[in-house]
Every structure is written in C-alpha cells, then in structure tokens.
Structure 1
Amino acid sequence: MGKRISLTAMSLAAGLLCAGLAGAAPGPAGSRVAEVNVFVGTGGDGHTFPGATRPFGMIQLSPDTQVRHFRQSYPWAAGYRYEDDSILGFSHTHFSGAGHSDLGDVLLMPTSGELKLEPGYPERPFSGYRSRFSHKDEHAEPGYYAVKLLDNEVEVELTASERVGLHRYRFKPGAEARVVLDLRSSIYDWAGKNLWSRLRLRLRGHDTLTGMRETRGWAPGRQLYFAIRFSRPLQAHQLLNREEGVEYKGFASPGKNPSEKVLVEGKALEAALDFGKLGDTPLLVKVAVSAVSEDGALANLDEMPGWDFDQERSKASAAWEQALGAVDIEAPQPMKRMVYTSLYHSLLAPSLFMDRDGRYRGPDNQVHQADGFRFHSTFSLWDTYRALHPLLTLIQPEQRNADFVRSLIASQQASPYGILPVWQFAGLETWCMIGYHAVPVIADAYMKGIRGFDPEQALRAMTASAEYGPYGGLQYYMQYGYVPIDLEPEAASKTVEYAFDDWTIARMAEKMGKQDVAARYYKRAQNWRHVFDPKTGFVRARKSTGEFRTPFDPVQSNFGSDYTEGSAWQYSWYMPHDNAGLVKFLGGDAGLQAKIDQVFDARIDANVYAHMEDISGLIGHYAHGNEPSHHVAYLYNYAGAPWKTQGRLAQIVASQYKDAPDGLAGNDDLGQTSAWLAFTAMGFYPVAPASNEYVIGRPFVERATLNLPNGKRFTVLARNLSAANPYVGSVSLNGQALARSYLRHEEILAGGELVFTMQATPNTAWGKDKRARPYTQTAYQ
C-alpha cells in the first residue's frame, strides 16, 4: 500500500488546497471561468477530459487513467474516467467526447522512490508507475489541472498554451525526482499500433528530448513529433527499447560515457529520467508537438519562452475568459454552470494543427504551408454540422470561422480522393460516419456572411464531394435517386443525409447566382422522398429493384443495417430542409404531432437498444445521446404546435443534463451535445443549417446576451421563468410582438432584445398559422 501523505504549505498553488470535490468553483469569483465544471462528461458516456488546453488548442494535456485494448476501451475514449482511482500518466493529445478514439501521445509520469518502468494494473496501481489519487486532492478549471499522486508522492499541475503543455511537479523533500516517458502508451491501444518511434537526447545543457512516433490507429500512418524541455538539468537517464527485452540496468549520467545511448529507435520506447534531489524546487516540463518534424516541435516550444508557470496559467485562464465572454448568462445554479460548461466544451474543436511557421501535414500525409490562414483539424462533421458549427458562427470571430472553412478546402485539395473531410483528425481521414457534412458547414458559414475564403473554390470542393461515386454508395444515389440497401449498407440514413447536404449546396449556389447548380441540387434534395414509406410512416431502406426491404421492424438497429447508429424511430424525421414535406407525408399537422408524440411517449423495453452503445439518453425512442434525434423536439413548430416543442425541451433538459461528472446523456461528440444545450438554453436552435433561421423553443436562463463579433449585442430575456412556467405566453423582438416561431440570423446580427413571457399553461395559438412557421424547401399545404 502506498503511503498517504498530507499536503504541505508547498502544495499546489491557487486553489488545490481548498478545491475539495471535483466541480468546486474554480477561478476568480465572478469570472466566467469559475462557472465551468470541466469534470462534466468525464463519467457516464460523455467521454470528455478534464485537463489543460486553450480554446481550439493543439495541445490537450490531461491525465489518463486507462488505455485498454481498443475492444475494451469505449469508456476511456478520452483517457480519463471519473470513476477510476489511479492515474497512469499525463499525455498531450485528447479528443473531447468522441465515440471512437485514438491519441494519448507523449505520456509522462513523475515518480519518486523505487523506479518502475511498467505502468502496473488499475486494481494494483502500486505494481507499476501508475499512482492512486483522490478527487478531494484534484482540481481543474479551463486551462488548468492539478492533482496529488498518492503512491508517487508528487503534486502535479498542468497548464497549456496553444502548442505547448507545461507541467509543474513538486516532489517530497529529500526524494529523488524522476520522470518516466512511455511512448508505448496510447488511447485505444492494441498490439502493433505503434509502427515506429524515436527518442533523441539533445545534449544542450542536458535538458531536452525530442522524438517521434508513427501509429496505425483510427487515422492510419499518423506521425507525431515532439520536443520536451526540463527546467532542471538531467542527472542521469536511460533510453530503452522495451520491444527488444532490454533490461533496465540503472541510470547513465548524460554525456559522460561516449558509448551510452543518446538515440534509440523502435516500436516500444521508454525513457527513465533522473533529476536528483530538488528539495523545495519544483521541476517544470515543457512539451510541444508537431506533425511535421522534431525541429518543428522544437520551434513550437519557443511559443512559451519562460518558466513562469503561474503566468502561463493566468494567460490560459484569460484566453478562456475571453472566449467564454462571447455570451453572458444570468441564471440560477446549476443552470448557469451547465450552460457555461456547454460553451466551454463547444470551444475545444476543431483544433489547431499547424506549426508556428504555418506548416502542417495534410490528408495526403505530405507537409503543406498554410498561406494566410491557420490550419485546423479534428472535424467530427457528422456530429458538429448540426449545432456546433452554427454556434461558432455566432460566437467566434469571422477569421476563426474562415480558418475552419479554408482548412476544409485545403484538405479537399490535398485529398487523394479530391473530396472534403468526412471525419478528420491530425489532418488525416478516418472515414468514420456517413454524409458529406463539411458541405453544410461551408454553406452555413457562407449564407451567414462569413467570408475570408474563395466561394468558387469552396463550391467546387462541395460538388466534387457530392459527386464522388465510390464514396458511401454515391454512384447508386446518383443513379437511383436513393441508396439501395442491397448495394450499400446503412442506405436509408445515407439517402436522407445526402439529400440535406445537397440542399445546402443548392442554397449556396443560388446565393452565388449559379442557378444551374442550384436547380440540380434542389432536385437531389428531394431524394429523401424516395425512402419515405407513407404506408408505415417511416423512412425505410429500399432495394435497387424499387421495393422496400422486408421484413421491417422500426425498432431494429444494428451496425451496418438500414440505419446509422439508430432505428427508423430515430431517422424517419430527418429532412430538416423540408419538414413541410414530412408534415404532408404524415397526413398533416395532427399526423406529425401524433408521430413525434409517439417517439417521446413510447414505453419500450429498457434493453431494446442495449446492444447499441451510441443509442443513449432515451426518452421513449428519442435518443438524446446521439445526433439524429437532436432536432426532433423542434419539429412541432413545423406543425403549428410550438407549445409542444416547449414541453419536450423541458423534458429533455431536465433528464439529459446535470452539473456532475455523469452530466451528459451520451458522447459529447466534440461539442455537439454541449452546443445543443447552449442554443436551447438561449431559446432557439438551428434545425436546418444554411436556412439562416433558428427555430424558437423556450429559454432556460433568465438572460443571455450574445456579445457578437461585430460589436453588437443581442439579448434574450425570459420573464416569469420558473419550473412552474414552462410554456411561452408571448414573444417580442425589439419591443414588437413576434407571431412567428423562428428567428432570422440577420436579426441577431443587428443586435436587439428578444423577450419571452413565460406562463404555466400552453399558448396553443402562438405559431400555429402556417405563415408563422419556419422555412422549408416545399410549401406548407
């Protein structure tokens, strides 16, 4: 058993002593940073990480508690899980909320006492360099993480700039200060994942290590280079290739023995680093990464030239305070913390993926130079086109959004297939999920006035992606007007998602004056009708011969079946650009209302979706833990019943979000689930990105002020807001009664005030008139 030692006066600075349980208020009182609980989503299926990063930063420096073989590792997709009681080490790259995973690069673990080179086991952490910890000795806030390692007797603090992670270790007085670097460790690990790695000791003051590793995980052939610099000189070191079974033979003093290893290569590298007895002096470690070269990583280290940890922590906090300052929230707790936490999680990706000199590695695995923009990667587009990117269009400067678009276009130009990213990270394509959803991201940005990119070039990239036959059954989609299930799996889902993407191409082409392109894609946007079966009232998979596949069970959901991570109950309402058409197919307003009522009110066996880990956050068949359901509650507006939307939103928010580690109903998916709450709490939601409209729901905060990039402010005010008043009685915009159930993007950009008057009973008349309903491609009947 490890000895439990008490914190001393030399303990972690600025908050660890009084932090208490995870979730205690961090940061200066009254700051927005203080309202963020970074532990939300680290339990349950949220898959978020609690460590230090900057908004859209290249570094995500965070503790890893487990990196199991990938078939067992779904709960550890972010490396850390709140339920665990030991830490493996601290690595520098992480996804936030992904349903699949990779990364966990450059794992460092400080230790003292007996040197152990194997990580050990969670059930026996003292068997290796892994160390137990307690949440009462753990503290985190945006840009900062701290913990006390009980077995290793080290106090750890982490902060970050955009490209550099900074560690501060305080060792027990009199103890040997040691650090283990384990290049074998990787999130979603498996035998053979590491293709090659290299460690080089740069003997310049005995303070710098550089290296690289190439992995074949989610993104095949991913190369990552790194540079590590220490604030104290190495006293001794050992560079080890564990694959060769090299036994540990003790430390070697750096530079004193010409035959000692200063360079080692292989597939299973480790370094044991000794800094001697430091007394009360902390050891600081800077780590930078690069996709280009070791020299690129060394140059990135210069982004943080000094060793003032507290100053760097303050800079990180200030960066987060500025980013979160895009929205001012007034609400009672815990709602205020829930909304600010959602905003925080919405500002982590897409992440910077470019060296300081503008070089980056693209989807062709070649090095490119960014000219006039900052290249970003980590595009979880099947998830994030729905709400995350529309949110960033509102709360981030135009240049940031233009950078995202230019990154997508640059990726298309470098793609061996000539198409836009599907699910990209580290500049590489993973081919995860379906659709060509970079298209609505670009179209939505253009329709909302984002410039800073070439629209002609963008439109060519969009149509190239939509017409690349070998991808996802597109050749059949273009031939038949739908994707046939006998020729391509997940055909029903692909058809309806392709149709929406096509509509966004048409919208952008029309605005650019390209009527021929617009007409062609508006026609394709109606292809969803080819897979909707009016007899059953569901979207169904169709064969190439024309008939719907039988037998049909609307609850059935399996990987590779008719639907993608869902069933007919989740996918049959996905034509967000043409909900008037859906209303018509379901027999009118009453038909749609009844069908969506069935979605929410169904009494189902708790195990009906148990085999599908992504179908979570269930309310009947509604699955808030996965994206195909995210717009469904807002569909009542299209059938003249916004009051039903308001009631369902109250049901969803109350059951699917909370201010706790298990506070997310499912994967956060790089911020999409969080962005849903950020929008919904303000009272509106982008059901159809590129429509330039937001469907009005109901607010969950007393006041929300958007501090817009154009310098104007748009305020949402909720009068009489309480749990007893879940319904909207009336709405006004800038003092004028608003009869329609949608808001225009330009109305937000103009600044002003949207006022909701809440009441206990539904106002069934508001928003009922067809002229008051949101945009759809075809007319209301």
Structure 2
Amino acid sequence: MMRFRNAKNLNEDLMKTNNLFLSVALTTLFLFSGCQKKAENLVQFVNPLIGTGLSSGPNAVKHSQGSEAWVQDIPAVSTPFGMTQWTPQTRDTEAKCISPYYFGGKGIQGFRGSHWLGGSCTQDYGSFTIMPETGYLKTFATDRMCDYNKESEVSTPAYYSCLLMQQNLIFVEITGTARSGFFRFSYIENTDVKIVITPNSDEGQGYIKVDPEKNEIYGYNPVHRIYQGWGQPAGFSGYFVVRFEKPMDNFGCYVQMEDHKKETEISGKPDIGAYAAFQVKKDDVIQAKVGTSFTSIEAARANLDAEIPHWDFKKTRAETEQIWNETLNTIQLKGGKKEDYTNFYTALYHSMLYPRTFSDVDGSYPSFDGNKSIQKIEKGHVYYDDFSLWDTFRAQLPLVSLIAPDKYEDMMKSLVLKAEQGGWLPIFPMWNSYTSAMVGDHANTALGDAYLKGFDINIDKAYPYMRKNALEVSEGEDFKNGKGRRGMKSYLQYGYIPLEDSIKEAFHKNEQTSRTLEYSMTDFVLSKVAEKYGKTEDAQILAKHAKNYQLVFDNETKSMRGRHIDGTWSSDYNPTARASYLTEGTPMQHLWFVPQDIPGLFDLIGDKKQVHDKLDELFSTDEYWHANEPCHHIPYLYNFLGDYAATQKTVKNIMASEYNNFDGGIPGNDDSGQMSAWYAFSAMGFYPVSPGSGEYQVSSPVFNEIKLNLNPKYYPGGKFTITQSDPDTYKTFSKVELNGTEIPFVLKHEDIRKGGKLKFSN
C-alpha cells in the first residue's frame, strides 16, 4: 500500500532514497567482489528465496495436490539449526500448512521470529511479529501490510533487507544468531514512527508488556499441539524480549483496533500487541535486538545478552556469515555448471536448519511431553527438537552426520532424552511433544543408524526404549497421547497390519500397508543394533520382522497391497491411484519401499529383466513421484541390477528437471530439508539407500571435484575427495575407483571415515 500524495511527491520521495540505495549497493558490491576473490566465501551461492513459491518441477506439477504443491521454505535468517528464524511475513496465522512467507505475496505484514518447520505442512508456534510503521497505528496484519521494492530485496542465510513502501519509506535490515535477532530500521525523512510487536496467538492467549525503564517490550505466545492432543497446550511458550537502542518517545498497547496509549501490559485477548513510538529525523536509524527462549522471559533476555551484547549490527552479521561459511566449507566444489553451485549450496543451507536448537545458552529447556519441569543438558551440548523423522531419516540426517557430526550426535542424544522424559521413544517429535504425525518409527531408524556408524550413543540408556517401540504395545492414555507405534498389536499378531485395523488414534488413519513396510525396515536396523549390542535373541526376532514386507506383497499384481485378516487382498486396487492403505502414494510407487532387502524384493518381482522393465515403466510413464519421500531411493535401485548407467541417467535427469534457481525450484514440500538433502547427496554422486547398512549407492557427481573437509574427531581421515575430469559433468561413467582400486558402485561409510579419493572415469 503506497500512500504517496501524488506522482510529484512519489518522485521526490524516491529520489531521497538514492543515497541510501547507493550505500547499500556499494556495500553489497564490495561484499560480492570479496566473495568472488575468496572461494571459501560460499554464502554468495545461497539463495534462500528458492523454495518459497509454488513448485515448478514437472513431476511435482503432475502428482502434488494442495499444500503438497508448495515447497513451503522460508528465507530464514539464523545460524545452522538455530532456535528462532527471522523471516518476512506475508501470512499472519500459525495455522497448519500455512508458511509465514510466500514469494509473490501481496505484501509484507511484518518480520517474524518464527519456529516454522521449513518445507513442511505442520504449524508455526510460539512466534511473534515486528513491524515498523509510519503514520497512524495499524494493528491488524492485513491493514499494516505494505508493498516493498523487489529490487531492494536481499536475502542470505545471515542477512535480509528490503525497502518498505509505506507513507514514508523504511529500509529494513535483519541479521541474527541461534536464539536472537538484530533489526535496523532506516528512515529518509523526519517522521513519527512506531515499532509494533504482536504475539501471534491464534487462540488469543498471548501476553505482552512495555517496560520503558528497560527500553524493552517483552511477552510470550503459548504453544498448542496438533495431531495427537490437537489444540491442547504443549506446556510451554515462545518467549521474547525486544530491546531498543534509543529511549522510547511514547508507547502503548492495543486490542484489535483500540489504541491503549501509555498502557504497559495486556494479555489473554485476541489480536493484542504493543508498540514503541519514536520521533525520527532524516537518515535516522532505529536498532532493536530480540532474544528468544522456550523457558522464560528471563531466559530470552539472558540469551540476548550472551549472543548479542553490543549494538554493532555489522559485527553480528559478519559473525553469522562466518559461521555459515565455515559450515558450508565442509564441502568445497570445483568445475561443473555455475547454476549448480547455487542449487547445491542452497540445498546445503536448507539441510542445515532443522532440527532446531531448543535449549538456552545455559542448557535449560522445557522437559519433553508437557514441560513438567525445566531440564538442563550437560555443558557444551545442545538439546534439539522438531524432528520431521518420516522425511529426514532418509538423507537429511545422514547428510548432517557428515557435515555437522557434533550437532548430529547431540540430536541423537536429544531423542534419547525425550524417551527418558516421556517413557517412549517419540515417533515424530514436534513442539517438544509426542505427535505420531506420520507412519513408521524413525527415531529408531535414525538412532540405530547413528549407533551402527559408531557415533556416541549411550546404548545402555537408549536400547530399552528402542526395543520397547519395536516389541511392546502402547495402550490407553499413552497411546492416545501419541506414544508407541500405531497398529502394533496387529503387527505383532499377524506380521502385518490388516485392513480391519483402521488406526483410529492417529492423524494419518489406516495406511496399514505403508506402516507394515516401514516397521519392517526399521526392524532390520534394530536387528543390527541388537546384534552389535549383544542381544542375540532380540536380533533374531527383529531380523524375522524385517521380512514382514513379504506378507503385503501380492504376487498376482506384483505390488504392495492392502490385506485383510483372512489373507485376502483389498479390492481397492489401481496401480496408479492413491489408496487408503498407503501413505501419500500409489501401489506403483510403494512397491519399491524395501530398502533393507532389495535383492529379496527383486526375487518376489521376478527375474532381472522383469525388475528392470518394472523400474523403467515407473519412470517412462511419469509415475515416479520425486516430490514425496518414499520414492527418493528408487532411482538408485538400478545399481542392484548392475545397471550403473541407468542410475546415473535417472538421477541426473531428476536433478536437471526438478531443481532450479527460482522460487519454485524444489519439487514439492522440502520437508525439513529432505528434498534438498537428496539433491546435495546426488550432486556429490552417492546416496544412503538403506539405513543401518553402512553403505551408500553410487551414481556420479555433477562437479569435477568435491572435497569433504570432515571433522577428524568423527572422521579420522579428515578429507574425502570425489573427482571426475570430463567437462560434461552430466554424462555417465562406467568405472569408479576408491584410492586407486576399482570398486562396484557402492561406497561404505567406513571408507569415508578413513578418508581417501573416489575417482570416476570411462
């Protein structure tokens, strides 16, 4: 909304921005020029606006429906795996499946301290919004929404800026740390301004207070659950403290459209907020710092004091950029296409945002499952939450294990802490609560994979909970609350979950065949864990369960199909249509979800040619759905037939057709970075098809050199290099050598730990 009086005034006001834009442009040019000279400055290749629009890949366009068609990422400013992310806001609700920001939105409503799970269809929670205003007080998000100059927009992992086209122009800049944010609001003429703070409580339960003596506005937004316990309090809030550099000239609170001038406190009503008012002169800058926490207002203040103890915006920005550069430099590239650098490092950025830091700088965090007390993780460690495990066990968490192994280890330890505090290993822990949001049991998958790879998991503490999920039935209030596997009584009785078990106590009801497939895969991982841990009897039982996928394979249709208690098959069968017994997919897609026993699956389908033909059919008929995770390993299955060229061609075709440098450049929901992690692995030329196997299936890289600079504490070899010399990086290769010795197109995790060189040639 532009409130310029006439065209003459518009031109005059825009002319006044010239000096400001020139300064910003020169600064940006200087930084970019420095990036060009220093290859280690990799932030230049990250474009956080990728993934903020409607997915543009042809595969996603064909198969995705509703919110699945949107990538759902946000241009998040934070450090890797930060507690709170700072994003422009185009939608003001915390409702399920609505991202705070969409590229091309009607306008900006403010700038949100967000706990949105990027790329998801969950909910934001405990969030709040800051909006600078000129003119009269505008309280509703739709009223204060204004246009912004698209050419002025700058988005990086460490910095966001844009020019708000209000009655008087405002240049907004944001940077941040793990738990805190830093804002600069620059003005080009004398005017009255207000900084409006809104706790985004859809339930009308927020609290906010103005403290003129401390020059602060602080408050909280209570968190509510969805999925299990929908609408119930999660037992904690998102707390925030906004501190201004300059003393307020005036202040107040508001309820809806009512301006309560000089009032200092308000709570428990819909559409509340507070504001600080200032008189500014030409070229004035108002700075505000914000601390956040999930434990208390005092903790939010302490986090802010610890992370940003000064008022030097450039210093904080530079420090956050340095953190990102150090993390991105774990993987260095040479050769290949220029646009692939942007795709790759943006994918890496998206893969390093979640799970989120949940503990304060002193280690405090609300206990899992209802916040019955405040816990404290041991010094030097971080407690994490928001694990989108149905998605991320596949590639995102394995990628984190390579590039940030210390944080990955803390993530796995956080899962064990949740089990200790709640009594069961969680299925899909979000907003520090049990959810059972999706099918499967992938805390077990992820923990088991980490333990088998040699990460420091306290198996004496973890194993009883891992075993409990796999071999015990959750009942009563525990089950209603989301604890334990769904359909477990049936699974243990029949070896599969029959159609008669409708799985009522879950957000995803039914989906019995998918649950059977996923439990059997996880039981394979757990059988390996039990074997390593010396639990021989458990290992034998779980290894048997790992074969349960065979019980839902219909030999007549050569597909995974719904099955009744009496053994008969569901009449609801169409190979290319979604079915109620499958999770977000078709029988043609879910046939291949047996990553723990690909040779066994192939034996069920037929001979080598029959399997190859069936894989070819999936891709040639465009029934392959890359925009959803159960398909992600399928392109690599040609390797198990010895057709390494087909794997390479298929993988590279998906990369070229489904990923690009535009706002819709990721196929479907990014799902906590899983879609991005698939790209990152595939661009490097290998992918973790089977959790617990300690192996990666190899395709071939799209760069001439990939150097992994690995943490020697976890990877004693320190460096692992992947090379190929052909200028056409999208071609296929017939030969791969590890440290000079030709190998099949399979790479072991232990090979990466030891360090070495993987070379492709023909």
Change (3 A) 1:195 1:371: farther
The answer to whether the 8 Å contact 1:57/1:352 transfers is yes
Structure 1 residue 85, shift from structure 2 partner: 4.0
Question: Equivalent residue for 2:233?
Answer: 221
- 1:148 and 2:163 equivalent? yes
Question: Equivalent residue for 1:778?
Answer: none
Change (3 A) 1:18 1:143: closer
- 1:117 and 2:139 equivalent? yes
Question: Equivalent residue for 1:125?
Answer: none
**How far apart, CA to CA, are the structure 2 residues paired with 1:672 and 1:25?**
32
Question: Equivalent residue for 1:306?
Answer: 310
- Aligned partner of residue 737 in structure 2, secondary structure: strand
- 1:732 and 2:740 equivalent? no
- Aligned partner of residue 300 in structure 2, secondary structure: helix
**How far apart, CA to CA, are the structure 2 residues paired with 1:41 and 1:480?**
43
Question: Equivalent residue for 1:352?
Answer: 357
- 1:478 and 2:492 equivalent? yes
Structure 1 length-normalised TM: 0.86
Structure 1 residue 225, shift from structure 2 partner: 1.5
**How far apart, CA to CA, are the structure 1 residues paired with 2:254 and 2:22?**
32
Question: Equivalent residue for 1:496?
Answer: 517
Structure 1 residue 633, shift from structure 2 partner: 0.5
Question: Equivalent residue for 1:180?
Answer: 196
Structure 1 residue 16, shift from structure 2 partner: 8.3
The answer to whether the 8 Å contact 2:678/2:687 transfers is yes
1:509 to 530, 555, 558: 530
For residues 495-644 of structure 1, what are the structure 2 equivalents within 5 Å?
495-557=516-578, 561-602=580-621, 620-644=622-646
Change (3 A) 1:263 1:195: closer
**How far apart, CA to CA, are the structure 1 residues paired with 2:430 and 2:254?**
30
2:434 to 429, 432, 440: 429
1:269 to 269, 272, 280: 272
- Aligned partner of residue 636 in structure 1, secondary structure: helix
The answer to whether the 8 Å contact 2:125/2:223 transfers is no
**How far apart, CA to CA, are the structure 2 residues paired with 1:422 and 1:325?**
33
**How far apart, CA to CA, are the structure 2 residues paired with 1:734 and 1:68?**
54
Question: Equivalent residue for 2:404?
Answer: 396
**How far apart, CA to CA, are the structure 2 residues paired with 1:117 and 1:396?**
42
Question: Equivalent residue for 2:505?
Answer: none
Structure 2 length-normalised TM: 0.88
Structure 1 residue 13, shift from structure 2 partner: 6.2
Amino acid at match of 1:622: Y
Amino acid at match of 2:130: L
Question: Equivalent residue for 2:120?
Answer: 98
After superposition, what is the alpha-carbon deviation per residue over 1:508-555, rounded to whole angstroms, capped at 9, x for unaligned?
Answer: 111122211211111111111100111111001111222111131122
- 1:163 and 2:179 equivalent? yes
1:212 to 215, 220, 230: 220
Greater helix share, structure number = 2
1:651 to 625, 650, 653: 653
For residues 200-349 of structure 1, what are the structure 2 equivalents within 5 Å?
200-205=209-214, 207-216=215-224, 218=226, 220-222=232-234, 223-242=237-256, 247-248=258-259, 251-252=261-262, 260-303=263-306, 304-330=308-334, 331-349=336-354
Structure 1 residue 357, shift from structure 2 partner: 2.0
**How far apart, CA to CA, are the structure 1 residues paired with 2:18 and 2:691?**
54
The answer to whether the 8 Å contact 1:539/1:572 transfers is yes
Gaps of 5+ in 1: 121-127, 187-192, 253-259, 603-619, 759-781
**How far apart, CA to CA, are the structure 2 residues paired with 1:677 and 1:60?**
23
The answer to whether the 8 Å contact 1:239/1:264 transfers is no
Question: Equivalent residue for 1:747?
Answer: 751
The answer to whether the 8 Å contact 1:360/1:368 transfers is yes
The answer to whether the 8 Å contact 2:658/2:667 transfers is yes
**How far apart, CA to CA, are the structure 2 residues paired with 1:25 and 1:248?**
48
How many equivalent pairs are there?
700
Question: Equivalent residue for 2:48?
Answer: 38
Structure 1 residue 59, shift from structure 2 partner: 1.5
The answer to whether the 8 Å contact 1:241/1:266 transfers is yes
The answer to whether the 8 Å contact 1:541/1:562 transfers is yes
**How far apart, CA to CA, are the structure 1 residues paired with 2:171 and 2:207?**
29
After superposition, what is the alpha-carbon deviation per residue over 1:600-626, rounded to whole angstroms, capped at 9, x for unaligned?
Answer: 111xxxxxxxxxxxxxxxxx1111111
Amino acid at match of 1:133: Y
Structure 1 residue 80, shift from structure 2 partner: 1.0
1:369 to 372, 376, 401: 376
Larger deviation, residues 360-369 vs 533-542: 360-369
**How far apart, CA to CA, are the structure 2 residues paired with 1:328 and 1:487?**
50
Gaps of 5+ in 2: 5-9, 55-69, 480-484, 503-509
**How far apart, CA to CA, are the structure 2 residues paired with 1:433 and 1:90?**
31
The answer to whether the 8 Å contact 2:158/2:320 transfers is yes
Show structure 1 runs of 4+ deviating over 4 A: 11-20, 24-29
Aligned-residue Cα RMSD (Å) equals 2.2
Structure 1 residue 685, shift from structure 2 partner: 0.4
Question: Equivalent residue for 1:660?
Answer: 662
Question: Equivalent residue for 1:256?
Answer: none
Structure 1 residue 264, shift from structure 2 partner: 4.2
Change (3 A) 1:405 1:13: farther
Structure 1 residue 461, shift from structure 2 partner: 1.8
**How far apart, CA to CA, are the structure 2 residues paired with 1:632 and 1:424?**
27
Sequence identity percentage? 31
Larger deviation, residues 233-242 vs 138-147: 233-242
